[in-house]
Amino acid sequence: MSEPASKIVVRDVYKTFSTKKDDVQVLDGVNLEVREGEFLAIVGPSGCGKSTLLNCMAGFEKVTSGSIDIDGEGIVGPSRKRVFVFQETGIFPWYSVWDNIGFGLGKKMAFDEKHEIVMKYINLVGLQGFEKAFPNELSGGMKQRVEFARALAVEPDVLFLDEPFGALDAFTRLEMRREIVHIWQETKKTCILVTHDVEEAVELSDRIAVMTRRPAVVHSVIDNPNSRPRDPDDSGCRELKDQVFEILGVERRV
Amino acid sequence: MNPRTFLPALVGFTVFVGFWHLATLGNSIGDLPGPWITIVGLIDVARQGLLWKNIVASVFRVAWGFSLAALIGIPLGMAFGWFPRLRNMFNPLIQALRPISPIAWLPFAVIMFGGTAMSSDLSAIFLIFLSAFFPIITSSTSAIASLDVKYVRSAENFGVNGLEFFRRVALPAALPQILTGLRLALGIAWVVVVAAEMLGVETGLGYQVMDSRNALRMDYVSAAMVVIAVIGLLLDTAMARVESTALARRGMAQR
Ligand SMILES: Nc1ncnc2c1ncn2[C@@H]1O[C@H](COP(=O)(O)OP(=O)(O)O)[C@@H](O)[C@H]1O
Ligand SMILES: [Mg+2]
């Protein structure tokens, strides 16, 4: 078996935000490699720069120094091949579910073709019958499903997930975790999930990158040896959780 | 009409008219007119055909001034919102001109538009324009400047840019705030038209107030005031309805 190919390579990335008052250094020489088709989780303390790193990878923010290559080429900006799923939701309240999911498909596509694609992803995320609904008529979990469908509809190779379940209630969150694993297994995208929830990282990912406090680096990347489907309460998962918590420097009480 | 909102409002109006009646009891024409005298006066001006002519004149001026303000204010405001450099250059100026009451421009307006064919209309329209322009440009600027970064990035992510970005993302996202600005502007415009018609014009509800005062027909003055109130209320209700249907159609009904 050959080494899996690198999809994204982050080399020595520094990022400083300059505000009116002062400069905030967020990333302090981050190195990270994301493999083709893997599910990578990035965990770290709140405010350490996880979203910043993800925004840089997506091309929304420019790095201060260092480089980020995707498929061996430096990124120049956002692209439809790599779609971002936002914390809370980035879907448009003024568009119906159908229009939101079709948003990225472009004006030139014929209606029939567009309809076929939109319906395919409505089915994938289980929102049959809600095509005409507007976001304010949907629950938080359903909105997040719309956003996943909108992202998947353009058939990207990479999904950037920035705490996509952060705003959901505990029950919906568990349901959506199962859903995203299902989507990932079905579509084989490279998924990069930012979360502050270690259990979520352990349940979902192939590997976990642990970041330090700000200014942040990636402290280490841990393989997740547990086979799917996973139960976060079995011994393998708990061991991994402890390992991550130890790196994060948090005493874990059972 | 909803009885739960209508009945309390009716009580409020009744109390007001009651006090008005008591306070003006025994007054004759030339003094402060009571509600009954006002109604008689209202029927009187309506019969003479003057009322209708004045209403049309005022509404016509507001329609022109307000539409021009919207036509110029919305795109300009959105441009200011999108381009920080432009905003930094012109927004302080706008905010400095904004507190000047449009009425203060009246002498200049009369000079500027005097002698032209529609001089009286033009100066009133110009004042209405000014009064509506500032709230419209300010709300449009801030609507775009405060666009949710998630919407901007989503559009960028899917390669939606330029005019398409404007039409599919910026405009709908800014719409609620722009509509609020328009409604506010229309209210101010209606207040200002009456003042704008007190000098240099010979039609309009403002003219009716001034002219009746000069003729010592205080009943016609209060009749004009009642008409001004009713039309103002109608305009605001219409605008509120436009606002809520426009938003509801886009899944953004306010709660
Ligand atoms: N645009 C910005 N301007 C200034 N500071 C920022 C900006 N974006 C993020 N930061 C700062 O960078 C730090 C890391 O933010 P973020 O990446 O959102 O953290 P995380 O996602 O790990 O919680 C925070 O202290 C935040 O205040
Ligand atoms: Mg974050």
Q: A92, B150: Cβ pair inside 8 Å?
A: no
What is the rounded CA–CA span in Å between residue B177 and residue A146? 26
Q: Which residues pair with B29 in a beta bridge?
A: B31
Overall average pLDDT of the B51-58 stretch: 93
Higher pLDDT, A206 or B246: A206
Q: Report pTM.
A: 0.87
Task: Give the distance from residue A83's alpha carbon to the nearest chain B alpha carbon, in angstroms.
Answer: 6
pLDDT profile of chain A (254 residues), mean per 10: 80 94 94 96 94 96 96 93 92 95 91 95 93 92 93 95 89 88 90 94 95 92 90 90 88 47
Give me the long-range contacts of A62-66 (CB less than 8 A, separation at least 24).
A63/A13, A63/A14, A63/A15, A63/A27, A64/A14, A64/A15, A64/A16, A64/A27, A65/A12, A65/A13, A65/A14, A66/A10, A66/A11, A66/A12, A66/A13, A66/A14, A66/A29, A66/A30
Through-space distance between the first and last CA atoms of chain A, rounded to whole angstroms: 40
State residue B100's pLDDT score.
94
Task: Give the torsion sign (CA, A34, A35, A41, A44).
Answer: negative
pLDDT tens figures, B7-49 = 999 999 999 999 999 999 887 766 889 999 999 999 999 999 8
State residue A170's pLDDT score.
87
What is the rounded CA–CA span in Å between residue A227 and residue A128? 31
Place of tokens 């979902």: A204
Find the CATH number of the domain harbouring A46: 3.40.50.300
CATH of domain B33-249: 1.10.3720.10
State residue B254's pLDDT score.
56
Overall average pLDDT of the B249-254 stretch: 71
State residue A204's pLDDT score.
94
Tell me the ligand closest to A88's alpha carbon: 2
The Cα-based distances of A127 to A130, A148, A179 in angstroms read 6, 11, 13
Q: Which of residues 181-240 of A touch B (CB under 8 A)?
A: none
A147 neighbors A89 (Cβ within 8 angstroms): yes
State residue B29's pLDDT score.
66
Residue B188 pLDDT > 90, yes or no?
yes
Q: B150, A90: Cβ pair inside 8 Å?
A: yes
Question: Does residue A239 lie within any of the structural domains?
Answer: yes
Q: Which atom of ligand 1 is nearest to the CA of A24?
A: 5
A43 neighbors A208 (Cβ within 8 angstroms): yes
Exposure string (b/e) for A219-252, b if CB count within 10 Å is 16 or more?
A: eebbebebeeebebeeeebbebbebbeebbeeee
Higher pLDDT, B107 or A51: A51
State residue A253's pLDDT score.
46
State residue B249's pLDDT score.
76
A210 neighbors A44 (Cβ within 8 angstroms): yes
The closest of A184, A215, A191, A237 to A24, measured between CA atoms, is A215
Q: Give A74's DSSP letter.
A: E
Contacts of A118 (CB under 8 A, 6+ apart): A98, A101, A102, A105, A131, A149, A153
What is the rounded CA–CA span in Å between residue A66 and residue A59? 14
What is the rounded CA–CA span in Å between residue A204 and residue A77? 28
pLDDT tens figures, A81-97 = 999 999 888 999 999 99
CB of A134 less than 8 A from some CB of B: yes
Exposure string (b/e) for B51-63, b if CB count within 10 Å is 16 or more?
A: beebbebbbbbbe
Higher pLDDT, B248 or B232: B232
Q: Which atom of ligand 1 is nearest to the CA of A162?
A: 21
Q: With H, G, I as helix, E, B as strand and everything else as coil, classify residue B30.
A: coil
State residue B89's pLDDT score.
96
Q: Which atom of ligand 1 is nearest to the CA of A52?
A: 17
In this prediction, residue B107 has a pLDDT band, given cuts at 50, 70 and 90, of: confident
CB-based pocket (< 6 A), ligand 1 = A 17, 19, 24, 26, 44, 46-52, 214
What is the rounded CA–CA span in Å between residue B19 and residue B34? 10
Please give the single-letter amino acid code of residue A160.
F
ipTM for the complex shown: 0.91
Residue B149 pLDDT > 70, yes or no?
yes
What is the rounded CA–CA span in Å between residue B172 and residue B152? 12
In this prediction, residue B255 has a pLDDT band, given cuts at 50, 70 and 90, of: very low
Q: A83, B160: Cβ pair inside 8 Å?
A: no
Q: Count H helices, E strands: chain A? A: 7, 10
Across chain B, mean pLDDT equals 91
Please give the single-letter amino acid code of residue B253.
A
CB of A107 less than 8 A from some CB of B: yes
Tell me the ligand closest to A44's alpha carbon: 1
CB of A95 less than 8 A from some CB of B: yes
State residue B2's pLDDT score.
80
State residue B27's pLDDT score.
78
Question: What is the H or E stretch that residue B246 is in?
Answer: helix B218-249
Range of the domain at A59: 1-81+193-254
Residue bearing the CA closest to ligand 1, atom 18: A51
Number of independent structural domains in chain A? 1
- Taking only Cα atoms into account, the Rg of chain B, rounded to an integer number of angstroms, comes to 22
Report residue A17: phi and psi, to 5°: -90, 130
Question: Does residue A136 lie within any of the structural domains?
Answer: no
Q: Which of B153, B158, B251 sits opposite A154 (nearest CB)?
A: B158
Question: Does residue A217 lie within any of the structural domains?
Answer: yes
Question: Does residue A244 lie within any of the structural domains?
Answer: yes
Q: How far is the CA of A214 from the centre of ligand 1 (A)?
A: 10
Residue A181, Ramachandran bin (φ over 0: left; ψ between -120 and 50: alpha; else beta): alpha
What is the rounded CA–CA span in Å between residue B50 and residue A90? 56
Residue B200 pLDDT > 80, yes or no?
no
Question: Chain-centre distance of CA B230, in angstroms?
Answer: 13
DSSP conformation letters of A185-236? HHH--EEEEEES-HHHHHHH-SEEEEE-SSSB-EEEEEE--PPSS--TTSHH
